[in-house]
């Protein structure tokens, strides 16, 4: 008897959530030392399997480069662990003796983790580690085109966690993911927080679920080569970055903005680095293969090499071609080279002035990269800081590879495979998401100062005294106008009569 795949997927999701929910209640009783033992065991196990998982990912998805995916897996296991290992995430995490405030951490519960096809194993490892560090359970929904390698990464993490003492069911997944099951996972009552990495529609669905959610927007990253830059180093960094795993990291450079003064030198350096420039008919062929439908990226080129993409477009390029570049001056979605391409393809824009360079960078970000990242190559710190202040992005990488610099491999940024875009990109944070984003904090606060709160009886007495003074003032004025000596009149009796009349009138 056969069952509908959607129904099977939904039931599997519900079962995984139930098990994770029950297991997390047990895991929430673990001490910091017990949690840390589990996290380290998982990180070590994933690190040992980095190469095998990388090969599985390339074989299944037909995207990227195995040796580069191995580096991603190493960053997501070893580097992520090193960045979170000393964080306090269980029980009392901070005491402010001066203010007499104690901070106490508690987990969200169960994390719904959506895993992309571009970074299937590294993202699964990273999301598992930061979830467990916060005392949470996790249920993952792999991308249908990367199911096997993602589940293998999760199995490795799960077995290691159980070996270290974690309860069965703490790490779960959907083995036959469907869109409906993923949507129901995000909306399920047992899901407490969502970590969504994927397309715009998926991230919007996560934010519309009514659950706390961390999603990320697209990254149409400009790389600005400013006139004071070391051009040879800048070009080498850009080419190395853009070819890292064939451009599948969302922080990879998507377009170069070069100062007019150093344009010719920049082009020469690109050609030295095995970059092929297209123009005329070849550019038109590339545009059709990049975006057959205006504004939409062709998914078949994602993670492919420059040589493969050229062949798909019907263009003959040298066998050692690393990146394909076309000069461009349009800033619109109908210009395929100007959108996010997730492959070793770049646009080249020329800026005759500083102001124009800023306009081009802003235009590229407005096409779909607001809030994400920007790369700048310069020896002028003032220029770098100026761009950091005015550009609507959450991270600015200076003189390094944008792709791996943004995830913390070549910079001091927090190692992460979910890069927030802040309010610029409609996200709740612009941080590199880590374990601290998956804990809540309650605060125990002791009295530090006394405050006197006036009582109601005091207010009424003040009010009566004030009214009595007003009546006495009126009586005195009336008597003065009548030329009557105050000593011949009993003012208290008159005030009594007035108050009685007013009281009768107000009934």
Which tokens sit at 85? 């290992």
Q: Which two tokens stand for residue 322?
A: 């690393």
pLDDT exceeds cutoff 70 at 208: yes
Which domain range does residue 197 map to? 5-216+436-445
- Phi-psi category of residue 371: left, alpha or beta, with phi > 0 → left and psi -120 to 50 → alpha: left
What is the pLDDT at residue 475? 58
Q: What is the mean pLDDT of residues 235-242?
A: 98
Q: Given this model, what pLDDT does residue 1 score?
A: 41
Per-residue pLDDT at 492 exceeds 80: no
Alpha carbons 187 and 174: distance in angstroms, whole number:
15
Residues 280 and 228 in one domain: yes
Q: Give domain status of residue 429, yes or no.
A: no
On whether residue 50 sits in a domain, the answer given is yes
Query: Are 12 and 156 part of one and the same domain?
Result: yes
Give the pLDDT of residue 202: 83
277 to each of 190, 315, 342, 365, how far by Cα in Å?
A: 52, 11, 18, 23
- Would the pLDDT of 61 be above 60? yes
Interval 147-171: pLDDT, tens = 999 999 999 999 999 999 999 999 9
Question: Do 89 and 155 reside in the same domain of the chain?
Answer: yes
pLDDT at 272 over 90: yes
Same-domain check for residues 261 and 210: no
> Between residues 457 and 230, which one has the greater pLDDT?
230
> Residue 458 half-sphere exposure, CB side, CA atoms within 13 Å?
4
> Average pLDDT of 56-71?
98
Lowest mean pLDDT among 49-58, 81-90, 475-484: 475-484
- Residue range 414-436: average pLDDT? 94
Q: What is the mean pLDDT of residues 352-366?
A: 97
d(C-alpha 394, C-alpha 382), whole Å: 18
More confident residue, 484 or 279: 279
Q: Quick one: pLDDT band at residue 18, thresholds 50, 70, 90?
A: very high
Interatomic CA distance for residues 440 and 430, integer angstroms: 18
What pLDDT does residue 218 have? 85
- Residue 281 included in any domain: yes
Do 402 and 440 fall within a single domain? no
- Maximum distance among all alpha carbons in the chain? 121
Does the residue 318 lie in any domain? yes
383-394: average pLDDT = 97
| 450 domain residue, yes or no | no
pLDDT digits (tens, 9 = 90+) for 440-491: 999 999 999 998 888 876 666 666 666 666 656 665 665 566 655 555 556 5
In a domain, 426, yes or no: no
Question: Active-site positions?
Answer: 250
Tell me the pLDDT tens digit for each residue of 100-148.
Answer: 999 999 999 999 999 999 999 999 999 999 999 999 999 999 999 999 9
Distant-in-sequence, close-in-space partners of 47: CB < 8 Å, separation ≥ 6: 73, 74, 77, 78
- For residue 91, tell me if it sits in a domain: yes
Q: Which of 199-208, 216-225, 471-480 has the highest mean pLDDT?
A: 216-225
Q: How many CB atoms lie within 10 A of CB 428?
A: 16
H or E element that contains 360: helix 354-366
Closest CA to 326 of 314, 339, 318: 339
Residues 295 and 327 in one domain: yes
- Work out the mean pLDDT of the chain and round it to a whole number: 92
- 229 in the same domain as 209: no
The pLDDT of residue 189: 97
Q: Are residues 383 and 288 in the same domain?
A: yes
**Is the model more confident about 272 or about 481?**
272
Residue 5: per-residue pLDDT: 81
Residue with tokens 């040879």: 232
Looking at the structure of the chain, the number of domains it has is 3
Domain match, 498 and 440 both: no
Is the pLDDT at 224 greater than 50? The verdict is: yes
């Amino acid at each position: 008897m056969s069952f509908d795949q959607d129904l099977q997927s939904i039931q599997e999701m519900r079962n995984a959530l139930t098990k994770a929910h029950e297991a997390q209640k047990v895991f929430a009783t673990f001490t910091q030392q017990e949690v840390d033992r589990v996290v380290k065991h998982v990180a070590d196990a994933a690190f040992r399997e980095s190469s095998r998982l990388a090969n599985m990912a390339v074989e299944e998805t037909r995207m990227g480069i195995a040796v580069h995916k191995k580096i991603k897996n190493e960053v997501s296991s070893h580097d992520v662990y090193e960045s979170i290992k000393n964080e306090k995430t269980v029980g009392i995490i901070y005491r402010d003796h001066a203010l007499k405030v104690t901070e106490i951490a508690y987990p969200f519960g169960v994390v719904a983790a959506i895993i992309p096809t571009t970074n299937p194993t590294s993202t699964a490892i990273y999301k598992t580690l930061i979830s467990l560090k916060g005392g949470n359970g996790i249920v993952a929904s792999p991308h249908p085109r990367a199911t096997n390698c993602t589940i293998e990464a999760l199995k490795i993490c799960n077995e290691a966690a159980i070996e270290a003492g974690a309860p069965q069911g703490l790490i779960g997944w959907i083995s036959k993911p469907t869109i409906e099951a993923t949507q129901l996972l995000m909306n399920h009552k047992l899901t407490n927080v969502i970590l969504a990495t994927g397309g715009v529609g998926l991230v919007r669905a996560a934010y519309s679920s009514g659950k706390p959610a961390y999603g990320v927007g697209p990254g149409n990253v400009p790389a600005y080569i400013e006139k004071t830059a070391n051009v040879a180093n800048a070009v080498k960094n850009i080419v190395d970055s853009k070819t890292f795993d064939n451009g599948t990291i969302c922080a990879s450079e998507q377009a170069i903005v070069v100062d007019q003064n150093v344009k010719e030198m920049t082009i020469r350096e690109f050609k030295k680095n095995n970059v092929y420039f297209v123009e005329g008919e070849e550019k038109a062929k590339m545009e059709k293969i990049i975006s057959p439908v205006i504004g939409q990226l062709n998914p078949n080129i994602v993670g492919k090499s420059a040589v493969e993409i050229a062949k798909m477009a019907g263009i003959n390029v040298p066998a050692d071609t690393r990146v394909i570049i076309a000069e461009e001056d349009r800033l619109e979605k109908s210009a395929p080279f100007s959108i996010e391409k997730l492959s070793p393809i770049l646009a080249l824009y020329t800026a005759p002035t500083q102001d124009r360079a800023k306009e081009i960078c802003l235009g590229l970000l407005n096409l779909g990269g607001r809030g994400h990242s920007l790369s700048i190559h310069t020896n002028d710190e003032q220029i770098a800081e100026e761009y950091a202040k005015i550009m609507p992005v959450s991270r600015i990488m200076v003189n390094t590879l944008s792709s791996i610099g943004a995830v913390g491999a070549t910079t001091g940024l927090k190692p992460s495979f979910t890069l927030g875009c802040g309010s610029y990109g409609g996200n709740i944070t612009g941080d590199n998401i880590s374990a601290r984003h998956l804990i809540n904090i309650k605060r125990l606060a002791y009295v530090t100062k006394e405050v006197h709160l006036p009582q109601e009886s005091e207010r009424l007495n003040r009010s009566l005294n004030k009214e009595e003074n007003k009546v006495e003032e009126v009586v005195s004025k009336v008597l003065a106008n009548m030329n009557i000596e105050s000593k011949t009149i009993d003012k208290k009796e008159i005030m009594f009569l007035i108050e009685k009349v007013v009281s009768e009138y107000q009934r």
